[in-house]
Amino acid sequence: MELDLIFSSGTLGDVVPFGAIAIALLFTVRNHSGTSTGTSTSNLVYTDPIFFLQVCAGIIRQIAQPTSKVDSKENLTTPLLPEEPTHFIRIISERDAEHESFLSELMEGLKNYPPELCAEGTNGTYFLRDASGDVKAVFKPTDEEGDSPNNPKEHARDVDRGIRQGEAAIREVIAYRLDQRMDNIFRVPPTLLVNIAHPNFVDEQGKPKTKTGSLQYFVQSQGCASDIGPRSFPTEEVHRVAALDMMIYNTDRHDGNILYNREEGLTLTPIDHGFSLPEKFGAAWFDWMYYPQASTTFTPHLASKISSFDVHQFARDISQEFDVREECLMTMILSTMILQTGVEMGKTPKQLAQFLSRGRPHEMSPVEVMMSEVEDMDGDFMCNVREKLAHKLSGL
C-alpha cells in the first residue's frame, strides 16, 4: 500500500513509467543476494520498503545517465524542434521559385552584413549584400511607406497620388510582371515579393518582426539620366521607358530613377515604380516628355509590341495573384488603351504624355476632362471611352 501511494503521488511517477520498472526491479533484486551485513538483500526487499525504493532509485539514476546513443522512441515522442532562424528571406509567390539560388546568396550576406538603409528617397529602402559584401538587392518594406510610423525617414506629406500606404511595394512587382509579359523589353530588374527577418527589423516594442516587401535585383550602372543629360540617349531607349510609364501610369518618373549603362552601347534601366497604378488619373509625371527623342513616333518594333499587348488578360492575371484594388487596375487598363490608340494613330510619346499629365498641378489634365465626360454618358462604359478617346487624340 505504501509503495502504491508513493508511485501514484507523482513524485517519481512523472519521471518514468514507474509501475513497470518497479516490478522488473523487484524480480531482479530478489535474485541478487548481498552479504556485507550478513543479511540477504532479497529479504530486505520484502521487509524494508524504503531500502527497496533506494535500490530502485539507484538503478533509475543509472538508466537516466546520458549515453552516446539516441533513444529512437524518445525521439519520436518528444522531438527537438529547431529554433526559428534569426534571419531569413522567403519568396511569397511560387512563380518566383527560380530565384531561390539568388536569395541563398543574400542569406549568406545577411549573416555578416545587416540591411543598410538607403539615404535617398522618402520611404524605407534597404541595400542587401552577398557574402563578399557586394550590394546585390534593394528591399522596400510595405510597413515603411509614406506616413507609416515605421518609416525611418523624415519627410513631408507627399502629394495625393491615389496610392495608399503599403501599396507601393506590390507595384514594384507588377512593373516587373508586365515587363515579363512583354519579353523584358523594358529592362525592369527582376522584382519579387518576399518576407525578410533580421535582428535589425523590430516592431515598436523592440521585438523581432518579419517584414513584407519588394526585393529588386541591384543594377550596376554608371549613374542616372540626370548625370549626363538626354541628348546622347538612343531614341529606342527613351521610347521603352515612355511606353512602360504610360502603361502603368507612373506618377513619379524623373531622371533620377532612370539608370544608364555603357557596357553594350548606351542603355536605360527604369527603376522605382512604387508610385504607379493610382486609383484615378491625375498626378502623372514623366521627365522624359521633355527629351528630344520623345517628339518622334514610336519605332516599328516597339509599336508592334505595344499594340499586341492584352492588358485585360494581364489585369485578370494580376488580380488572381496579388491583392490590387479594381480601380487601380482600371487605371492601368485605360492608360494602356490610350497608349495603344495613340500608337495606332501615329502619335508621339510627348503628345500622349501631355494628354495624360497636368500642365499645372491644380488644373485637370486632358484625360481627366475626358473621363468626366464619359461618366456623364449613357451606355457601355468602355465603348464610350473608345469613342471619346479617338476624338480627343485626333485633335492632338
CA 318 – CA 94 distance, rounded (Å): 14
Per-residue b/e over 51-76, b at no fewer than 16 CB within 10 Å? Answer: ebbebbeeebeeeeeeeeeeeeeeee
pLDDT 10s digits, 321-347: 999 999 999 999 999 999 999 999 999
CA 150 – CA 159 distance, rounded (Å): 19
The CB density around residue 176, as the number of other CB atoms within 10 Å, is 22
Residue 2 has pLDDT above 70, yes or no: no
CA–CA–CA angle 382, 384, 386 (5° rounding): 70
CA 19 – CA 3 distance, rounded (Å): 10
pLDDT 10s digits, 103-144: 999 999 999 999 999 988 888 999 999 999 999 999 999 999
Domain ranges of the chain: 2-77, 88-394
Grid coordinates standing for 339?
497608349
Sign of the C-alpha dihedral computed for residues 281, 318, 246 and 221 taken in this order: positive
pLDDT 10s digits, 188-219: 999 999 999 999 998 778 888 999 999 999 99
Beta carbons of 279 and 162 less than 8 angstroms apart: yes
Grid coordinates standing for 47?
521487509
Grid coordinates standing for 102?
539568388
Higher pLDDT, 8 or 60: 60
Of 240, 238, 246, the closest CA to residue 341 belongs to 246
- pLDDT, residue 84, reads 52
Average pLDDT (33-38) is 40
Residue 8 has pLDDT above 70, yes or no: no
**What average pLDDT does the chain have?**
82
- pLDDT, residue 137, reads 98
Beta carbons of 193 and 173 less than 8 angstroms apart: yes
Average pLDDT (30-54) is 44
Please name the residue that has the C-alpha cell 524623373: 254
For the entire predicted model, the pTM comes to: 0.77
